[in-house]
Structure 1
Amino acid sequence: MSKSALRRPSVKGSSSPLAKPASDGAPKLAPPAFRPVQLAKLVDTVPPGDRWIHEMKYDGYRILVSLGGGEARAYTRSGLDWSDRFPSILSEARRLNVRSALIDGEAVVIDTEGRSNFQALQNALKAAPVSIDFYAFDLLQLDGEDLTRLPLLERKGKLETILPAKSPILRYSDHIQGRGEELLNRFCGAGLEGVVSKLADSDYVGARDGSWLKIKCIKRQEFVLVGWTPSDKDRAFRSLILGVHDGGKLRYAGKVGTGFDAAKMARLMKSMAPLEQKAATVEAPRAEVRGAHWLRPRLVAEIAFTEMTNEGTLRHPSYLGLREDKKPEAVVLETEHCTATLPPPATTTTTTTTTTTTTIAISNRGRVIYPESNITKGQLADHYTEVAGIMLPWAGSRPISLVRCPQGRAKKCFFQKHDAGSFGEKVHQVGITEKDGHEEPYLYVDDAEGLVTCVQMGTIEFHGWGARIEDVEKADRLVFDLDPDEGLDFEAVRAAAFQFRDILRSLGLTTFPMLTGGKGVHVIAPLTPRAEWPEVKAFASGLAQAVAQSDPAHFTAVLSKAKRKGRIFVDYLRNQRGATAIMPYSARSRPGAPVAAPVTWAEMKTIDAPSHFHVGDAPELKKRAASKALAGWGRADQFLPDL
């Protein structure tokens, strides 16, 4: 395939030359903040039918380009600000004729054969950033308007009109509708990476919800570098030792000894030297790792391979490069799903919110979980199936703790955050280093089948960390849990929530309230994941204590129940590493089957109780989330202010 075949074709009746936005007197708009990106599920075959569109799978870095008010930024898929690495892309983006935009795409380098080349991209980032192209395939915001609830084809249509027809850097990622298998065969024959298939009418939820699929020509994924073996020849090392998180633990995945030249080896040795340690990081056959130099698991490498053996090691692996945009904790074994068993999400007739079905069998559907309201296990599973599309952007790809009540909410319930292997492949594990240095497998889900599998195992509640698995050390939200003393009514909680909204607004933070389904309200401020836990905890603690000191008659920041008499406890302790909070749209193990639900500040003025929504209200919750008035609530991410 020629290089020109990858370039954007001219669009009939559409011209948008690069030009600075005209001064029309409208107020300037700041660049939109980072938001979680839509993720694709790996499958084995291309889905059939015209409901799917198919695009090229690029071999580069996933980037969100944000621009507005003459500024432009570039964020990685985990929210790292890499603006300094893509100056030519951002320079070109600043010239687009828009007031603001948030564009999803891939930064790539196209070689002379017309292929995106990951190694060439890494070289360009070190030496010649001007040679990097940006292929745009989605538009999340435009001129201050949130577009994520629009159908994909409508978003792509708007994207195409704002991109220049002949830019040497900014390119539109074209697609075909239907005929995906034909496109995959064509791409594989040309030595390209594969195809990404997307539901044409899907919205953008920022999670792995099954509406985007990826099909690869060759197998490749990220692995953690856990060591290296010395060479008996004149080279820096013989091979790299690889690990991958499988079942929540880092295990041996084989070695890679090809794909290096002298320069790559020198760079790798420089990166690995500070990470050397005496202890082995994984258990491996002694003969295969004789004389190994072991590393702390901090580096991630992209590896191509033909297949994985029955022993779990790679056959014919080849090194492609380091992945600085991925965290070792998020490197898990990626397995192909059978397309035939993936029920494609269908859209409702009243909204564009995705409704997902699952293949998970629920045993004892008629078992009563909530005795006072006669709600069954089957009804609870149906709730999570229905709300998956609006819940996963919050709860997906995030370490979670489960409240499991196998015999119903009135019987014994317990928290679970680690997996002993009982959940199966639909519920995933990510290894996270504990304070004492050892690693534990934490649970996470990234699709509806994972949610429903947890229900099958007796789960009622989902509580999540304040960070995603891509970088568990950086918070992506602040949570202030306003917990009233037993004698206080909801009116006191309502007033406290508005007081916190105003305080946080004065500090530059946009917030939204969430009804917890319990006694209180959470005031939540989404964050661009930049600040680490000590800073976030110090900020939350300082603010809670300042509020308690300034208004001791109504607030306390002390955990002791004796200190809460007639006051609201400002629980800031959820803003620390490992702490969890109830996830939006999670049911609660309380009488009446209440559901935690975000609301607008306007609704907060008249809402009757923190248990306003219940299991059975999923259609209303989905309709609210898809409405134009609510489409952007809680998604206006902000930076942690400098204090």
Structure 2
Amino acid sequence: MPSTSAPPRSRTSSKPVLARRPRVKAQSPLPAFRPLQLATLVDTVPSGSGWFHEMKYDGYRLLVAVGDGEARAYTRSGLDWSAKFAPLLAAAAKLKVGSALIDGEAVVLDGNGRSNFQSLQNALKSSPDAIDYYAFDLLELDGADLTALPLRERKKKLTAILPKKDTRIRYSDHIEGSGEKLLAGFCSAGLEGVISKKADGRYVGSRSGSWLKTKCIKRQEFVIVGWTPSDKGRSFRSLMLGVHEKGELRYAGKVGTGFDTTELFRLQDIMQPLEQKTPTVTAPRSETRGARWIKPQLVAEIAFTEMTREGTLRHPSYLGLREDKKAEAVVLEKEAPADEAARPSPVPISNRDRVIYPESNITKGQLADYYAAIAEIMLPWAGSRPISLVRCPQGRAKKCFFQKHDAGAFGDAVRQVAIQEKDGGSEPYLYIDTAEGLLTCVQMGTIEFHGWGARIEDVEKADRLVFDLDPDEGLDFEAVRSAAFHFRDILKQIGLETFPMLTGGKGVHVVAPLKPRAQWPEVKDFAHRLAQAVAQSDPDNFTAALPKAQRKGRIFVDYLRNQRGATAVMPYSARAREQAPVAAPISWKEMETIDKPSHFQIGDAKELLKRARSKALAGWGRADQELPDL
């Protein structure tokens, strides 16, 4: 493990630019951002063999991409923070690889080798040359996707490409077994905690249960909802905090320690433009005397000893602002028993013999088994984004309905994110990020999962562009196939790479993954204008008209999936249609010969898993392109 008493080393200055590097290997394209594997908070370190235990660092999670002669840094939500970590990326660009995608943590170490979040924030403002990077996983190397390999093999490959000397980019070491002893040692040394990972686990871009975290002290993010004035000048006395629970922002107490003078005045300057007259939380009157309220947009990292029965913090201490996380995504993190969290899906399915698909006698139990099997490849797509469920409690042939909100019937495994509505208020939207959440929805009668084109980290920015090619009655699949290739070529001409997805229904989606930068009005306008241009250039085969009477004999280019609040069926979702088809991404090569949009069914789970892990299909959904001008 990294020493806790390593002395600080001397630095050489680095210019804040993305450094070019010598061509030590044939260059590969710069890898794109992909969803990160997340850890589940547990009450104890998991016991037994087969677990790697690593230090939990106190910094910013970063995905570092190296390729095509440069390096870039992405936050956990996909933001490009390369400019903030220029010296670090200058060192990464010198790695002797064709390309690589590395997962790790950016930190600043003190004289005792401990990482400190506030020191990291200060370094980002004034001395980025002081920032180190501990690498703990390797997702891609020289164009090859490594995520299907066991962790122990990925870490071996990682050690082989990292510098051997004590440099800015370091290897995050581990021990196997004896996790409780390691945690005790870390806690006594004032460190944050332990991350435990299954040694034979794949890298899954979601919260899968194969990564667990155990903390020495309680700490998490809270939303700043206001402040109380100080009687000693223009700074504040304390920050008022909130946290989302069941999709609503509630009061979580105040924090008045952990600030130095510089941070007090910096926060005051940041909060001043956000002031508003009305509070966004309900708090005890004794807590709100003289309070000044602000829009709930800032996120602070807070350490505390415990939470009271009333849901407020005991002995909180401010650690710093979290600029990599949106306020809407801040939810209360609760410790789970380690043995339960490590299980793939501890969800009992009732009425397993109930027939859900009467024409083929497929049961609720079979549907649940399908979702349990494909959770690891579905969650990177459907997880951590607002979803709408198609629930058919008595089977697909009986009453089905859409649901996007929950009054509490789903329990804690199905989470909620507060999203602002047109009237200025907010509503709790459902989302899932674990196999447990996915199976809980199935237990509640869900067949289909439809998702927004944005993740909960920033619901205002699209991470994909979807064109739904919907054929009129009477058109065969050959017409759909031809239309899909036509759209592929058009989008490629304007700089967008795409993949086709069989919907399990009548048509095909042509999908272009995007960096989450463009706001919804821009995305909707782009999709609308492109759909209209295609329809006008080939009116015999395409239409963008909404009235069904105008679609006769043509393919409707449904561009309306690309607007705020609209959903599209998620990859690997089952459909409430005859024979239990599923939506499935395919390659353009496969598109040449595939027979129908319902080619795959829930009985094909093993084949879908194998395809998703194959080299030919690796990398779908990686957001490495921006919305072009049209």
Fold conserved between structures, TM > 0.5: yes
SS of 1:272's equivalent? helix
SS of 2:295's equivalent? strand
- Superposed counterparts of 1:574-613, under 5 Å: 574-613=561-600
Q: CA deviation at 1:377?
A: 1.2
Q: Retained in 1: the 8 A contact 2:574–2:580?
A: yes
Q: Retained in 2: the 8 A contact 1:600–1:633?
A: no
**2:515 corresponds to 1:516:** no
Q: Retained in 2: the 8 A contact 1:510–1:636?
A: no
Aligned to 1:367: 354
Instruction: Provide the rounded CA distance (Å) in 1 between the counterparts of 2:100 and 2:615.
Output: 18
Aligned to 2:15: none
Q: Retained in 1: the 8 A contact 2:33–2:622?
A: no
Q: CA deviation at 1:167?
A: 4.3
**2:562 corresponds to 1:563:** no
**2:551 corresponds to 1:542:** no
Per-residue deviation, residues 448-498 of structure 1 (Å, max 9, x unmatched) = 110111111111110001111111111111111000001101110011111
Q: CA deviation at 1:366?
A: 1.3
Q: Retained in 1: the 8 A contact 2:6–2:112?
A: no
Aligned to 1:506: 493
Aligned to 1:216: 215
Per-residue deviation, residues 187-234 of structure 1 (Å, max 9, x unmatched) = 111110011111112222211111111111110000000011112334
Q: 2:405 aligns with which of 418, 421, 425?
A: 418
SS of 1:513's equivalent? strand
Instruction: Provide the rounded CA distance (Å) in 1 between the counterparts of 2:156 and 2:469.
Output: 44
- Superposed counterparts of 1:422-501, under 5 Å: 422-501=409-488
**2:621 corresponds to 1:638:** no
Aligned to 2:103: 104
- Superposed counterparts of 1:90-169, under 5 Å: 90-169=89-168
Q: Retained in 2: the 8 A contact 1:21–1:98?
A: no
Q: Retained in 2: the 8 A contact 1:58–1:108?
A: yes
SS of 1:301's equivalent? strand
What is the root-mean-square deviation in Å for CA atoms of aligned residues? 1.8
SS of 2:455's equivalent? coil
Aligned to 2:13: none
Q: CA deviation at 1:636?
A: 6.5
Amino acid at match of 2:155: K
Amino acid at match of 1:218: I
Runs (5+) with no aligned partner, structure 2: 10-18
Amino acid at match of 1:621: L
Q: Retained in 2: the 8 A contact 1:556–1:568?
A: yes
Moved more, 506-515 or 630-639: 630-639
Q: CA deviation at 1:523?
A: 0.8
Amino acid at match of 2:494: L
Q: Retained in 2: the 8 A contact 1:29–1:69?
A: yes
Aligned to 1:11: none
Instruction: Provide the rounded CA distance (Å) in 2 between the counterparts of 1:19 and 1:412.
Output: 60
Instruction: Provide the rounded CA distance (Å) in 1 between the counterparts of 2:625 and 2:445.
Output: 36
Q: CA deviation at 1:286?
A: 0.7
Moved more, 177-186 or 460-469: 177-186
Q: Give percent identity, aligned residues only.
A: 74
Aligned to 1:190: 189
SS of 2:269's equivalent? helix
Instruction: Provide the rounded CA distance (Å) in 2 between the counterparts of 1:86 and 1:637.
Output: 19
Instruction: Provide the rounded CA distance (Å) in 1 between the counterparts of 2:588 and 2:20.
Output: 38
SS of 2:184's equivalent? helix
SS of 2:616's equivalent? coil
Instruction: Provide the rounded CA distance (Å) in 2 between the counterparts of 1:316 and 1:143.
Output: 48
Instruction: Provide the rounded CA distance (Å) in 2 between the counterparts of 1:59 and 1:71.
Output: 27
Amino acid at match of 1:640: L
**2:273 corresponds to 1:274:** yes
Query: Normalization by structure 2: what TM-score?
Result: 0.96
Amino acid at match of 1:317: P
Q: Retained in 1: the 8 A contact 2:34–2:621?
A: no
Amino acid at match of 1:65: V
Instruction: Provide the rounded CA distance (Å) in 1 between the counterparts of 2:98 and 2:312.
Output: 50
**2:385 corresponds to 1:398:** yes
Q: CA deviation at 1:627?
A: 2.5
Q: Retained in 2: the 8 A contact 1:511–1:634?
A: no
Q: CA deviation at 1:38?
A: 1.1
Instruction: Provide the rounded CA distance (Å) in 2 between the counterparts of 1:21 and 1:51.
Output: 39
Q: CA deviation at 1:298?
A: 0.4
SS of 2:224's equivalent? strand
Instruction: Provide the rounded CA distance (Å) in 2 between the counterparts of 1:334 and 1:282.
Output: 19
Aligned to 1:380: 367
Q: CA deviation at 1:634?
A: 4.2
Q: CA deviation at 1:179?
A: 1.5
Amino acid at match of 1:45: T
Per-residue deviation, residues 258-314 of structure 1 (Å, max 9, x unmatched) = 111221110010010010000111001011111111111000000000011111111
Instruction: Report the CA distance shift for 1:442/1:6 in structure 2 as closer, same or farther (over 3 A).
Output: farther
Amino acid at match of 2:112: E
Q: Retained in 2: the 8 A contact 1:3–1:112?
A: no
Instruction: Provide the rounded CA distance (Å) in 2 between the counterparts of 1:578 and 1:81.
Output: 25
**2:46 corresponds to 1:59:** no
Amino acid at match of 1:163: L
Instruction: Provide the rounded CA distance (Å) in 1 between the counterparts of 2:562 and 2:21.
Output: 41
Q: CA deviation at 1:30?
A: 3.1
Q: Retained in 1: the 8 A contact 2:67–2:98?
A: yes
Q: CA deviation at 1:31?
A: 1.7
Q: Retained in 2: the 8 A contact 1:483–1:569?
A: yes
Instruction: Report the CA distance shift for 1:276/1:22 in structure 2 as closer, same or farther (over 3 A).
Output: closer
Instruction: Provide the rounded CA distance (Å) in 2 between the counterparts of 1:518 and 1:177.
Output: 47
Instruction: Provide the rounded CA distance (Å) in 1 between the counterparts of 2:269 and 2:75.
Output: 24
Amino acid at match of 1:299: L
Amino acid at match of 1:63: L
Q: Retained in 2: the 8 A contact 1:99–1:143?
A: yes
Q: Retained in 2: the 8 A contact 1:419–1:441?
A: yes
Per-residue deviation, residues 498-545 of structure 1 (Å, max 9, x unmatched) = 111111122222211111010001111111212221221122112111
Q: Retained in 2: the 8 A contact 1:33–1:528?
A: no
**2:275 corresponds to 1:288:** no
Instruction: Report the CA distance shift for 1:253/1:23 in structure 2 as closer, same or farther (over 3 A).
Output: closer
Instruction: Report the CA distance shift for 1:239/1:41 in structure 2 as closer, same or farther (over 3 A).
Output: same
Amino acid at match of 1:305: F
Q: Retained in 2: the 8 A contact 1:431–1:442?
A: yes
